[in-house]
Amino acid sequence: MRLRQARLADLDALVRLEQSFPSDRLSRASFRHLLRRGRAQIRVCEDDGVIVGNTVVLYRRGTDTARCYSLVVHPDHRRRGIARALLQHAEAAAVMRGCREMRLEVRPDNRAAIGFYRENGYETTEKIAGFYEDGADAFRMCKRLASVTGKSSARSRPPRKHARDAHVAGPATGTPAAAPGSRRKSAAE
Ligand SMILES: CC(C)(COP(=O)(O)OP(=O)(O)OC[C@H]1O[C@@H](n2cnc3c(N)ncnc32)[C@H](O)[C@@H]1OP(=O)(O)O)[C@@H](O)C(=O)NCCC(=O)NCCS
């Protein structure tokens, strides 16, 4: 298993993974746009050369908050620590860009994702009415990120390290940030 930055050649695989979301899927055009504009960081996890998970993080000028816009692992590869590895890398990359917080939105009925994010130090900070395409509300979850000097906020728990993550490469450095306009919808399992 290895993590790397996504490239245009990964478009088919990224679009396929989106099928895990019941609605509000990122389109091929959206992925292409995000891959090209450099204000998003898309990271994929490969297992034997097959992309089995990805995360999309958006950055915006003028804020030290990064946004985890999408995180998904193929159903056949869940509970292997892949999402944890992707999120840890995304957080480390955000810290390298000077971000102090990661935030995301999740459907209140997405128990797997909420359990996962809590396990990784995220706390629900607010409920956003009518956030999703189908009118469903969202929970906003946030985590204070450790600084580059390694000092972490009292609000965040250090992520547990899975032994199986040990062979995953370190976080890639990113490109300059900017503002996404759209909202991301998350999946129920
Ligand atoms: C949520 C999701 C990304 C988790 O991916 P994953 O690779 O299976 O997660 P990990 O193996 O890294 O899980 C790490 C920990 O999170 C928690 N966790 C993960 N899935 C969970 C579930 N279904 N129920 C409860 N806790 C869960 C557990 O504590 C787990 O540790 P453990 O396996 O040692 O018990 C995956 O279920 C998914 O892709 N879901 C569909 C897309 C989605 O909803 N994305 C989030 C949108 S906001």
CATH number of 90's domain: 3.40.630.30
Write down the pLDDT at residue 146: 83
Domain membership flag for residue 120: yes
Among 119, 20, 22, which Cα is nearest to 72's?
20
Write down the pLDDT at residue 180: 35
Is 147's pLDDT higher than 80?
A: no
Distance CA 187, CA 70 (A): 10
Domain membership flag for residue 31: yes
Atom of ligand 1 nearest to the CA of 184: 48
Distance CA 14, CA 4 (A): 13
Count up the domains in the chain and report the number.
1
Distance CA 54, CA 74 (A): 9
Q: Whose CA is nearest to atom 19 of ligand 1?
A: 116
Residue 97 one-letter amino acid: R
pLDDT, average across residues 2-10? 96
Q: What's the pLDDT band for 20 if we cut at 50, 70, 90?
A: confident
Lowest model confidence (mean pLDDT) among 55-69, 99-113, 141-155, 157-171: 157-171
Write down the pLDDT at residue 24: 83
Q: Is the CB of 81 under 6 A from ligand 1?
A: yes
Domain membership flag for residue 175: no
CA 75 to ligand 1 center in whole angstroms: 10
Write down the pLDDT at residue 111: 95
CA 78 to ligand 1 center in whole angstroms: 7
Residue indicated by tokens 């892949």: 82
Is the pLDDT higher at 179 or at 61?
Answer: 61
Q: To the nearest whole percent, how much of the chain has pLDDT over 90? A: 70
pLDDT, average across residues 141-149? 84
Tell me the pTM.
Answer: 0.83
CA 31 to ligand 1 center in whole angstroms: 23
Is the pLDDT higher at 26 or at 162?
Answer: 26
Domain membership flag for residue 47: yes
Domain membership flag for residue 166: no
Domain membership flag for residue 24: yes
DSSP string, 20-83: GSSSSPPPHHHHHHHHHHSSEEEEEEEETTEEEEEEEEE--TT-SEEEEEEEEE-GGGTTSSHH
Q: What's the pLDDT band for 154 if we cut at 50, 70, 90?
A: very low
DSSP class of 127 = E
Mutation test residue for ligand 1: of 52, 79, 160, the one with most atoms within 8 Å of CB: 79
Domain membership flag for residue 10: yes
Is the pLDDT higher at 23 or at 58?
Answer: 58
Identify the domain containing residue 49 by its residue range: 2-161
Write down the pLDDT at residue 149: 57
CA 83 to ligand 1 center in whole angstroms: 6
Q: Is the CB of 134 under 6 A from ligand 1?
A: no
| Ramachandran angles phi, psi of 72, nearest 5° | -150, 145
Domain membership flag for residue 187: no
Give the chain's mean pLDDT.
Answer: 82
Atom of ligand 1 nearest to the CA of 72: 39
